Chains A and B, each alone.
Chain A
Amino acid sequence: MKLEVVRPGFATTVQDLGRPGHAALGVGRSGAADRESFRLANRLVGNPDDAAALEVTLGGLVLRASGVTTVAVTGAACPLSKGGPNGPITLWPGEELALGTAVSGLRCYVAVRGGIDVPPVLGSRATDTLGKLGPPPVTAGMLLPIGPAPRAFPVVDLAPRAALPAEPVLRVTPGPRRDWFTAPDELLSTVYTVSPDSDRVGIRLTGPALARARHDELPSEACVPGSLQVPPSGRPILFHADHPTTGGYPVIAVVEEADLDLAAQLRPGQTVRFRAA
């Protein structure tokens, strides 16, 4: 069984739950940006949670199945040519599934029963866009190999999910270099706008600059997903799935792991706020 990529959409990559544990080599976690949507897509087709699936940014993907198979689409609200989101969809041989442009949220997940069976790199099939690890980004004409169907069958027809919040708020805990800023709590009172310069590496935010209390150079240090790193411009960058494993600008706060899924759905131009966890 193969899935043919008729159109890749705006930006589509193969993802799984990533390759944690190699940061001392410079290899980051990577994997699905919205991990809860990713896991749900797999569960809806009877796959184990970590089977490789597609992460589709903003939609536009068109797939054609070579044999009968079951897929599921979760994450951003995206019009579908067949079936609906958050439930299994059966595709017949030669049948296409088209994703429209996402109307809210940014990233959809398309799981296929059996998982995408590309060779793992360092134990993962995730595409690390910074580290250039894993399969290349999906392009038109690509034939994605699908693994054997798991024993388990899909058990639900629909897993309704709450709509994404119109005014997202991300919970933070203090970061290691909070004391490098004159008024670190300004992070919590500012309404930031998501810059179009955002991607899987980091979400760049615009808003008033955070003022530094210290101006010396910080020796590079390891950071975790969710780190809010502040370069000298004073505008924070939220390190996401493919963030660098070390950074040399101070981290003022860290977004809660559970809220990174919501952060993954932020659209450029949207506003976002932070509150203490």
Chain B
Amino acid sequence: MTVRLLPCGRRAVLVELDDVLGFQAALTQSPPDGVVELVPAARTLLVRFDPSMTNAERLGALLRQVSPVDSVAADAGEVVIPVVYDGEDLADVAAETGLSEASVIARHTAGTYVSAFCGFAPGFAYLTGSDPALHVPRRSSPRTRIPAGSVAIAGEYSAIYPSASPGGWRLLGRTGVPVWDVERDPPNLLPPGTRVRFTAVPS
């Protein structure tokens, strides 16, 4: 397995590797001294540490010796998300992929998605499983404000914006399903392992 250690300030290192969840599981089983938080993402694991207890060099030497352990994401059930497909970027995505708007919608609703990891903002889940034809890059300049409930795609991921925020993803539509509710336990509707289906509904 290739592991690359990337610098990330004096309180964290970013580990780039193939098996993020297996590496995270190994570190969770036996955390090196000074590690305070692990944040998984698509191809990387951020390892935050207490700079009074360790440093990037010392921690890096330990991280190079870690072997990933088997990790099976728990099946966290299935959630159906009704979507009004009238997003601002629908026409652009159609033009860029050479598909009609109707077929962008058909392909987006055909997939079964799985929440791979969470991040960006509370309740924001990165959903894998989208049709490769819909793998489009982010906008070249992020919007400063995207409305809550926006259903968007970028690269291999789909996501639902939990609250109004800036963002660079392509907006396909919107849903009224709240993906984050701090009064709910857990507040996150789509923890890792959750299966998700999108259905098209009229506005």
Q: Which residues of A contact B (CB under 8 A)?
A: 20-21, 23-28, 121-122, 128, 130-133, 173-178, 197, 201-202, 217, 219-224, 226-227, 231-233, 244-249, 251, 254-257
Assuming the contacts A221-B42, A245-B120, asked whether A226 and B165 have C-beta atoms less than 8 A apart, the reply is no
Q: How many residues of B contact A (CB 8 A)?
A: 49
Of B9, B11, B119, B144, the residue contacting A23 (CB under 8 A) is: B119
Instruction: Offer 7 A-B interface pairs, CB within 8 angstroms, sorted by A.
Output: A132-B163, A175-B9, A176-B44, A178-B7, A219-B155, A246-B41, A257-B11
The smallest C-beta distance from A9 to any residue of chain B, in angstroms, reads: 22
Known A-B contacts A176-B8, A249-B168; the reply to A25 vs B43 at CB < 8 A is no
Interface assignment of B109: CB less than 8 Å from any CB of chain A: no
Shortest 6 CB-CB contacts between residues of A and residues of B: A246-B119, A219-B42, A222-B46, A176-B6, A254-B9, A222-B39
Q: Does B93 contact A (CB under 8 A)?
A: no
Instruction: Kindly provide the distance from the CB of B44 to the nearest chain A CB, expressed in whole angstroms.
Output: 4
In the complex, which residues of chain A have a beta carbon less than 8 angstroms from the beta carbon of B40? 24, 222
What is the CA–CA distance of A269 and B32 in the complex, to the nearest angstrom?
44
Q: Which residues on B sit within 8 Å (CB–CB) of A21?
A: 36-37
What 0/1 readout, one digit per residue, does chain B (1-24) give for beta carbons within 8 Å of chain A?
Answer: 000001111111010000000000
Contact call B144/A217, Cβ cutoff below 8 A: no
* Complex: chain A residue closest to B41, CB-CB: A221
In the complex the two chains form, is A121's CB within 8 Å of B48's CB?
Answer: no
Residues 145-183 of B contacting A (Cβ, < 8 Å): 154-155, 157, 162-166, 168, 180, 182
Report A-chain residues with C-beta under 8 Å of the C-beta of B138.
217, 248-249
- When the two chains form their complex, are residues A224 and B41 in contact, meaning their CB atoms are under 8 A apart? no
CB distance from B185 to the nearest CB of A (A): 12
Q: Is the CB of A244 within 8 A of B42?
A: no
Contacts of A25 in B (CB 8 A): 118, 122, 187-188
B11, A244: Cβ atoms under 8 Å?
no
Q: Which secondary structure dominates chain A's binding surface?
A: loop
Asked if residues B41 and A256 are in contact (CB atoms below 8 Å), the reply is no
Residue of A nearest to B169 (CB): A248
- Residue of A25, A133, A247, A257 with most partner-chain B CB within 10 A: A25
Question: 12 additional contacts, CB 8 Å, given A222-B41, A245-B39?
Answer: A21-B36, A23-B39, A24-B118, A26-B162, A28-B121, A130-B121, A132-B162, A176-B14, A177-B6, A201-B165, A220-B157, A224-B46
Residue B29 interfacial (CB < 8 Å): no
CB distance from A185 to the nearest CB of B (A): 15
Decide if B41 touches A219 in the complex (CB within 8 Å).
Answer: yes
Cβ 8 A contact of B141, one of A27, A177, A217, A233: A233
Expressed in whole angstroms, the minimum distance between the Cβ of A199 and any Cβ of chain B is: 9
